[in-house]
Amino acid sequence: MAARPSPTERQKRLGSELRRMRTTADISAESAAGLLGVDRGKISNIEAGARPISAERLRTLAHNCGCTDSRYINGLVEMAQPSARGWWERYRGTLPQGLLDIAELEASALRMRAAYSMHIPGLLQTSDHALALFRVVIPQLPEREIALRLAHRVERQGILDGESPPPYAGIVHEAALRMQFGGRAVARTQLNHLLAKSEQPNVTLLVIPFDAGAFPGAGQTVLYAEGAVSQLDTVQIDNSHGPLFVHSEEQLAKYRAHLDWMEGIALPPGRSRDFIHNIARQL
């Protein structure tokens, strides 16, 4: 099978886990190639996410690396399975790869935790709110791409609905709630939409008021997506150059601590809804 020209973030993540497993066991790439019955170059491509690996070969590698964590191995096998063509693939070649990777990450997450200081979480935005944000990008986006980004955003939001949606915990700072992107009417509708979404059984919405004071990671936008096991969790961070995905043990522990701290100083769900309602009444 030919190498993938542009592996997805999920495919690259699988490759990095296999590389970490191999190097931790002090097995050379040449030895791994011999164990799997492939040439040395294919090992490099597999670990770069550019080539697939079968479940049988993955389990053979794990066994020879001394990995006995069955839940972790099963999680890797699941990542290695040829997945059904996700809806986001319709946007390949028309939207940046990072946006497609975010959609795939959300679709595969067993649970999500998110924290936003200046923006409403993307999965909870109204179309008018999202449009207001897309229209202030530098350099300015053409109308066709704005329309595509909006359609992509709306499809992403479907992950919170359906028969068995993943649990989603969103932490939003008061600053984000008071931003009037699109004007007062759009902002009021957005806050009412937040209130409606917060009533869903799988959605927990927490507000950090101004008087809660300082907290780690203030100003960052963080999505923590939980995988089959904690080792396969992923953090996605927004920046001006596109999404950044991190997953080292140290980084995951850092952002879990960030989110725990923020949840600790946030208002509980009921008081958070009252807080949002009061801001909406002021508009």
Give 193's contacts (C-beta < 8 A, 6+ positions apart): 124, 125, 126
- Exposure string over 157-182, b if 16+ CB within 10 A, otherwise e: bebbeeeeebebbbbbbbbbbebebb
pLDDT per residue as tens, the chain (283 positions): 555 668 999 999 999 999 999 999 999 999 999 999 999 999 999 999 999 999 999 999 999 999 999 999 999 999 998 766 899 999 999 999 999 999 999 999 999 999 999 999 999 999 999 999 999 999 999 999 999 999 999 999 999 998 899 999 999 999 999 999 999 999 999 999 999 999 999 999 999 999 999 998 888 899 999 999 999 999 999 987 889 999 999 999 999 999 999 999 999 999 999 999 999 999 9
Cα–Cα distance list, 97 to 3, 9, 64, 133 (Å):
18, 9, 34, 19
What is the SS3 assignment for 120?
coil
Distance CA 208, CA 171 (A): 7
Q: What is the DSSP code string of 40-100? A: HHHHHHHHTTSS---HHHHHHHHHHTT---HHHHHHHHHHHS-----GGGGGBTTB-HHHH
Q: Given the structure tokens 């890797």, which residue do they identify?
A: 76
pTM summary value: 0.94
Q: For the chain, which domains are there?
A: 9-80 (1.10.260.40), 87-282 (3.30.870)
Cα–Cα distance list, 161 to 120, 203, 226 (Å):
18, 10, 18
Do 79 and 13 form a contact (C-beta atoms < 8 A)? yes
